[in-house]
């Protein structure tokens, strides 16, 4: 029996793992997103079209087969059955909608319960196909509900760091660009943890150029060196990575700060025993107080072990920080090469051989074979990848994570996984009306990513970047002071492309600001990430978290490590939704007119800066 109802009377099924489809008497079945409607916590807004139309709502458009449904007339409801009762076994839940006088249905408790079941991302055909491809590129790990927790503020991040340092039993491993020269409290936390637990070992990896920039004055290296003096090099392992791109005359003549444009250790990995925090934040006062970033805690021994292996591999390719007395060296430290030149030469002495050895060290770590190897005997017994790469998992697995890294300066040939995987993900966005949000504090999006984003047809999408006054380089002395204007110029160009492509009604550009950086109560913005929601779904089911700014520089010069997360866990999806909403609180939607204001119009210096320094930004 086929049933049609008046446009103010609705048939609705809220079913997990299903999309909602709509059919009028004069049209074929179409996904609900083809109409002007939204599927959200507050209710389901059905098409507001002029003229009388009848609509039939179902989760199964095949052959007009309808499972048991709720027919709503006004505030009354009754159950309508189709002739094909076998379809009822496919339903996870049903929900009753009470129609309001305005024609917009209000969602009752049953409906909310249906939504709380979460959307099964692994059943979406395009996500499934994309994950099949990624399964042959990058490692993959399974998480259960509660294994991931999203933080929202710098204060939460700092409090959690101190908590995990204090409770660590066996190991703490930290990878960051630098540790702020005022972070005496943070160093004290590490010192105290080592004092209280003789079994604890500390591994810290930072960048050699950024971490010694201020020497012989206080810098990252001089702050950390006393920990080695006190606790010994067998318990405190300090390494500083130096890019092989800076050697010879470049090394000799390019001044400090400028030389960092040739490559940095940019990963942000904060591991404690069997837990790890992935973030875009470094370890300094502003990141702990008034610099907005992203942070996710993962409780997974296998995932943590994987990133520990990445940390250790880069550490073997790095200089060791050795403490010295002030009378021997005013800086209080020196950098020594811990490897014999015949095994791994210094990057500044023999960069070609160094890269060859680095490739041998890192190649296997990036491969999918680094996925969990004990599936057969673990409780996740059915968590496997088939020969076709399709994800097969048992009902307990709600979340999969894929570590993706970009080590282009160390690999020949370049087998980095981040650019490849994200390219696949962004290509997927063009295959359906996926909704997405992209944020980058430093807006210099890789041209390949820009091209793919502009090919998408979302129901809605948002790009969030830092306003000039929320950029950490705002009013900075020297050449770096030109960066906020240059990033603003690039954001304006992207917005112009959006409008030129006729997608200004779907893709919006926002600037984040909260006061003025370096002024009382002013914040800066450093968040980076991608969130993806399936059509008509209120919350993202995919996100990318990590160190990358998605810039040209990230995919050519720096070391980056990130995590692609795909989840059907309703709680985690809600956390992702809340994370995006939290970032949008301080956002302003931008128009091209905004960029024509006297203080925003790009001048020739900004254009010249972008032209010649674009790949270093």
pLDDT digits (tens, 9 = 90+) for 396-437: 789 999 999 999 999 999 999 999 999 999 999 999 999 999
Distance CA 117, CA 577 (A): 15
Given the structure tokens 């929900």, which residue do they identify?
95
- pLDDT band of residue 119 (cuts 50, 70, 90) is confident
Q: What is the mean pLDDT of the chain?
A: 82
Given the structure tokens 């006088």, which residue do they identify?
101
| Cα separations in angstroms, 69 against 45, 105, 200, 252, 347 | 18, 15, 59, 75, 67
- pLDDT band of residue 372 (cuts 50, 70, 90) is confident
Which range among 6-10, 113-117, 186-190, 444-448 shows the weakest confidence by mean pLDDT?
6-10
pLDDT at 614 over 80: no
Instruction: Tell me what pLDDT residue 16 has.
Output: 29
**Residue pair 293/156 in contact by the 8 Å Cβ criterion:** no
> Tell me, what DSSP letter sits at residue 255?
P
| Helices 220-231, 184-196: inter-axial angle, 10-degree rounding | 20
Closest CA to 242 of 409, 385, 473: 409
Could you report how far apart the first and last alpha carbons of the chain are, in Å?
Answer: 62
Residue 440 is encoded by which pair of tokens? 């980058």
Going by their DSSP bridges, the two strands 507-512 and 524-525 should be labelled as unpaired
Instruction: Tell me what pLDDT residue 481 has.
Output: 75
Which range among 53-67, 107-121, 246-260, 510-524 shows the weakest confidence by mean pLDDT?
53-67
Distance CA 36, CA 53 (A): 14
Q: Where are the domains of the chain?
A: 5-117, 134-441+526-585, 442-525+586-617
Rank 29-33, 41-45, 251-255, 373-377 by mean pLDDT and report only the highest.
251-255
- The DSSP string of 117-138 is T---GGGSHHHHHHHHHHTTTS
CB atoms within 10 A of CB 314: 25
**Residue pair 442/553 in contact by the 8 Å Cβ criterion:** no
pLDDT digits (tens, 9 = 90+) for 563-600: 999 999 999 999 999 999 999 999 999 999 999 888 88
Reply yes or no on whether 266 is catalytic.
yes
Fold of 134-441+526-585: Endonuclease; Chain A (3.30.870)
Distance CA 526, CA 153 (A): 12
pLDDT digits (tens, 9 = 90+) for 480-538: 778 898 899 999 999 999 999 999 999 999 999 999 999 999 999 999 999 999 999 99
Burial class (CB in 10 A: 0-12, 13-18, 19+), 258: middle
Instruction: Tell me what pLDDT residue 595 has.
Output: 92
Instruction: Tell me what pLDDT residue 393 has.
Output: 57
Given the structure tokens 């999203």, which residue do they identify?
150
Instruction: Tell me what pLDDT residue 475 has.
Output: 81
Residue 478 is encoded by which pair of tokens? 């020297």
pLDDT at 141 over 50: yes
Instruction: Tell me what pLDDT residue 286 has.
Output: 97
Instruction: Tell me what pLDDT residue 186 has.
Output: 98
Rank 54-68, 328-342, 344-358, 373-387 by mean pLDDT and report only the highest.
344-358
Secondary structure in 3-state letters for 228-244: HHHHCCCCEEEEEECCC
Instruction: Tell me what pLDDT residue 267 has.
Output: 98
Residue 481 is encoded by which pair of tokens? 């002071």
pLDDT at 115 over 80: no
Average pLDDT over residues 108-117: 41
Reply yes or no on whether 273 is catalytic.
yes
Given the structure tokens 């791994």, which residue do they identify?
344
Instruction: Tell me what pLDDT residue 171 has.
Output: 98
Supply the pTM of this predicted model.
0.80
Going by their DSSP bridges, the two strands 10-12 and 97-98 should be labelled as unpaired
Higher pLDDT, 284 or 24: 284
Distance CA 428, CA 78 (A): 40
- pLDDT band of residue 134 (cuts 50, 70, 90) is very high
Catalytic residue among 231, 266, 514, 526: 266
Catalytic residue among 53, 128, 251, 273: 273
DSSP lists the bridge partners of residue 525 as 292
Sheet holding 76-80, edge to edge: 10-12, 69-73, 76-80
Q: How many residues does the chain have?
A: 617
Higher pLDDT, 117 or 519: 519
Instruction: Tell me what pLDDT residue 293 has.
Output: 98
- pLDDT band of residue 617 (cuts 50, 70, 90) is low
pLDDT at 60 over 60: no
Instruction: Tell me what pLDDT residue 101 has.
Output: 29
Distance CA 178, CA 167 (A): 23
Phi, psi of 19 (to 5 degrees): -100, 160
pLDDT at 28 over 60: no
322 CB-near residues (< 8 Å, 6+ apart): 225, 228, 233, 333, 334, 335, 336
3-state secondary structure of 581: helix
Give the H or E element holding residue 483: helix 483-500
Sheet holding 275-279, edge to edge: 148-151, 295-299, 275-279, 269-272, 171-175, 201-207, 236-241, 319-323, 333-336
CB atoms within 10 A of CB 506: 16
pLDDT at 27 over 70: no
pLDDT at 311 over 80: yes
Reply yes or no on whether 496 is catalytic.
no
**Residue pair 574/580 in contact by the 8 Å Cβ criterion:** no
Instruction: Tell me what pLDDT residue 477 has.
Output: 76
> Tell me, what DSSP letter sits at residue 72?
E
Distance CA 134, CA 128 (A): 10
Distance CA 184, CA 284 (A): 10
- The DSSP string of 280-318 is S--BSHHHHHTEE--EEEEE-HHHHHHHHHHHHHHHHTS
| Cα separations in angstroms, 358 against 65, 293, 345, 574 | 58, 31, 10, 40
Closest CA to 474 of 318, 349, 599, 576: 599
Instruction: Tell me what pLDDT residue 392 has.
Output: 62
pLDDT digits (tens, 9 = 90+) for 65-84: 333 333 323 333 333 333 33
> Tell me, what DSSP letter sits at residue 611?
H
**Residue pair 561/547 in contact by the 8 Å Cβ criterion:** yes
> Tell me, what DSSP letter sits at residue 158?
H
- pLDDT band of residue 87 (cuts 50, 70, 90) is very low
DSSP lists the bridge partners of residue 21 as 31, 58
Catalytic residue among 23, 268, 526, 528: 268
pLDDT at 376 over 80: no
Instruction: Tell me what pLDDT residue 31 has.
Output: 45
pLDDT at 39 over 60: no
Distance CA 263, CA 393 (A): 39
CB atoms within 10 A of CB 342: 7
């Amino acid at each position: 029996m086929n049933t049609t109802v008046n446009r103010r009377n609705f048939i609705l099924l809220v079913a997990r793992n299903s999309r909602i489809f709509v059919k009028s008497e004069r049209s074929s079945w179409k996904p609900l997103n083809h109409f002007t409607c939204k599927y959200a916590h507050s209710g389901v807004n059905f098409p507001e079209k002029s003229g009388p139309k009848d609509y039939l709502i179902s989760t199964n458009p095949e052959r007009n087969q309808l499972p048991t449904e709720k027919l709503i007339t006004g505030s009354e409801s009754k159950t309508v059955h189709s002739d094909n009762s076998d379809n009822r076994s496919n339903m996870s839940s049903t929900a009753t909608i009470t129609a309001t006088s305005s024609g917009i249905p209000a969602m009752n408790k049953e409906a909310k319960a249906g939504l709380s079941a979460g959307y099964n991302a692994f059943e979406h055909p395009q996500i499934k196909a994309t994950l099949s491809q990624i399964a042959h590129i990058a490692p993959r790990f399974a998480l259960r509900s509660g294994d991931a927790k999203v933080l929202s503020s710098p204060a939460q991040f700092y409090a959690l760091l101190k908590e995990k340092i204090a409770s660590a039993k066996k190991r703490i491993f930290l990878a960051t660009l630098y540790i702020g020269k005022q972070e005496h409290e943070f160093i004290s936390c590490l010192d105290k943890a080592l004092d209280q637990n003789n079994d604890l070992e500390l591994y810290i990896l930072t960048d050699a150029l950024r971490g010694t920039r201020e020497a012989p004055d206080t810098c990252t290296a001089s702050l950390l060196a006393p920990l080695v003096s006190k606790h010994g090099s067998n318990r405190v392992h300090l390494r500083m990575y130096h890019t092989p791109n800076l050697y010879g005359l470049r090394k000799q003549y390019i001044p400090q700060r400028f030389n960092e444009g040739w490559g940095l250790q940019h990963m942000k990995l904060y591991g404690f025993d069997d837990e790890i925090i992935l973030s875009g934040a470094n370890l300094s006062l502003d990141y702990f107080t008034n610099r907005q970033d992203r942070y996710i805690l993962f409780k997974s021994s296998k995932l943590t072990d994987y990133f520990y292996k990445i940390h250790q591999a880069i550490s073997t390719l790095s200089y060791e920080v050795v403490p010295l007395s002030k009378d021997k060296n005013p800086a209080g430290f020196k950098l020594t090469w811990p490897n014999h030149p015949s095994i791994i030469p210094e990057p500044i002495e023999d960069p070609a051989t160094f890269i060859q050895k680095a490739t041998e060290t890192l190649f296997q770590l990036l491969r999918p074979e680094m996925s969990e190897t004990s599936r057969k005997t673990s409780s996740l017994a059915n968590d496997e990848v088939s020969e076709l790469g399709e994800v097969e998992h048992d009902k307990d697995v709600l979340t999969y994570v894929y570590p993706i890294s970009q080590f282009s300066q160390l690999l020949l040939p370049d087998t980095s996984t981040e650019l490849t995987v994200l390219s696949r993900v962004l290509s997927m966005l063009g295959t359906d009306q996926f909704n997405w949000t992209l944020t980058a504090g430093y807006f210099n999006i890789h041209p390949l990513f820009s091209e793919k984003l502009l090919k998408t047809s979302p129901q809605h999408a948002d790009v969030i970047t830092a306003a000039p006054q929320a950029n950490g380089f705002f009013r900075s002395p020297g050449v770096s002071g030109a960066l906020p204007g240059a990033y603003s110029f690039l954001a304006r160009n992207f917005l112009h492309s959006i409008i030129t492509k006729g997608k200004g009604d779907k893709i919006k550009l926002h600037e984040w600001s909260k006061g003025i950086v370096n002024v009382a109560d002013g914040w800066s913005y450093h968040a980076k990430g991608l969130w993806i929601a399936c059509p008509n779904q209120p919350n993202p089911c995919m996100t990318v978290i990590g160190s990358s700014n998605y810039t040209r520089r990230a995919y050519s010069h720096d070391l980056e490590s990130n995590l692609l997360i795909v989840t059907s866990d309703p709680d985690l999806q809600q956390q992702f939704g809340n994370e995006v909403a939290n970032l949008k609180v301080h956002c302003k939607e931008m128009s091209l007119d905004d960029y024509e204001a006297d203080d925003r119009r790009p001048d020739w210096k900004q254009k010249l800066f972008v032209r010649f320094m674009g790949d270093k930004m």
